[in-house]
Structure 1
């Protein structure tokens, strides 16, 4: 069989065959071997005329089962919602995976509407394409107000700290409710805008200086008004 083997915006891994035959030409992130074109990196397939390329997923969140994520509803479908979790593909929240009882045929936007922010858990990942979510579990819910900031997903463990020590200190120092998603999205809500700004500045500082020694003391001093 000749032609495209993968579809546009499919996720491919290094060495995965994208096209067969000489009708297509290798672009960025791909290479030809014989008559076949393969991916040279993890990314999304892109097709521009006869050129095939792979767009790298650097910085994108790679979902894993069990992850707690902060997401935003981007579409209301039949019996489900599409939720943006910062991955290459929107995640799916089925109506059966909510904490509410929802009658068949009900208007789902009455429960979760466009741009609603949810704290959910990843229950299933199929080759990083199909991501299923649940709202059944402790702390999983729709949140209102506040703000969302984005951090590099790989820096999340440093922001949370050992046994949650860092994020606990930030919550106590700012008085804010904070949820740090494994997907690098952080929901912050305080009594005052100033509190949210302070929490935001501290979290972004941790992201930028996660590799430095004495960071915990630095953050503690900032929260106590003793440093910058």
Structure 2
């Protein structure tokens, strides 16, 4: 139940991780017909693509990233958003789905509010701007925020969203996962506690094989011990 099966190998920079029949993915490079790790991390091979998932690390924003952010300051025509990177990112009034008059920003978003947005730009010195001008973007009302290592976000999401779909389906929580390592959960108190514990299990056991089944067993066991089922 706790994912104590075989684990994915950990590789070091410069270690050979693949041959000519495979394609280099994130965290690797190709040289002389072989593929090598470019960072310390967990070796992953899927559909002929070899990748190295970093064991830990801070969030490095990239254009198009989905982020869960928190408003930390307000100006007359913009907000500053904490996106779990070294500096807050501006969100301009023209980048939200509302018509905001100059000086009226606090009526729409205030300090402490959580949002789901996207990174709109990253310049050469890593200054970041964010936008809410996409169908998925929204203000996140209520709920709670959970932080995980940004390096573990792909494992939390799973292949084609399979892992996080499992958690949402069994807990009936609404969950948004930001690539910046911030996760927003909303549901009943009991369901959100179980969902948060499942996400922590994924983060802690990210390198284990058979993790999906371990998470499923954990969730089913949690509800059996709670003598109830996920709230509808």
TM-score between both structures, scaled by the size of structure 2? 0.70
* CA distance in 1: counterparts of 2:90 and 2:103, whole angstroms: 18
Aligned runs of 1:133-172 on 2, under 5 Å?
Answer: 133-172=130-169
Structure 1 unaligned residues grouped into runs of 5+: 1-57
Runs (4+) of structure 1 exceeding 3 A deviation are none
Contact 1:63–1:128 under 8 Å retained in 2:
no
**SS of corresponding position for 1:89:** coil
What is residue 37 of structure 2 aligned with on the other side? none
The answer for the alignment partner of 1:87 in structure 2 is 85
CA distance in 1 between counterparts of 2:193 and 2:72 reads 26
1:204 Cα deviation (Å)?
Answer: 0.7
Cα drift, residue 128 of structure 1: 5.1
Aligned: 1:78 with 2:76: yes
Give, in angstroms, the shift of residue 222 of structure 1. Answer: 1.2
Residue in 2 that maps onto 1:196? 192
Tell me which residue corresponds to 2:23: none
Which is greater in Rg? 1
1:177 aligns with 174
Which of the residues 209, 213, 220 maps onto 1:217? 213
RCO greater where, 1 or 2, for CA within 8 Å and sep 6 or more? 2
- Tell me if structure 2 keeps the 8 A contact 1:62–1:128: no
Q: Does 1:118 align with 2:115?
A: yes
Q: Secondary structure at the match of 2:196?
A: helix
Taking only aligned residues, the RMSD between alpha carbons, in angstroms, comes to 1.6
C-alpha distance after superposition, 1:167-214 (max 9, x if no partner): 000000101000000000000001x10100000000011001000111
Distance 1:160 1:128 in 2: 29
User: 1:24-79, CA deviations, whole angstroms, 9 ceiling, x for partnerless residues?
Assistant: xxxxxxxxxxxxxxxxxxxxxxxxxxxxxxxxxx7321100000000000000131
Which secondary structure state, in structure 2, belongs to the residue aligned with residue 224 of structure 1? helix
Q: Tell me, which stretches of 5 or more residues in structure 2 are unaligned?
A: 1-55, 226-232
Give the alignment of 1:30-41 within 5 angstroms: none
1:147 Cα offset (Å): 0.5
**Alpha-carbon offset, residue 106 of structure 1:** 3.6
TM-score, normalization by structure 1: 0.71
Secondary structure class of the residue paired with 2:111: coil
Please state whether the residue corresponding to 1:124 is helix, strand or coil: strand
SS in structure 2 at match of 1:225: helix
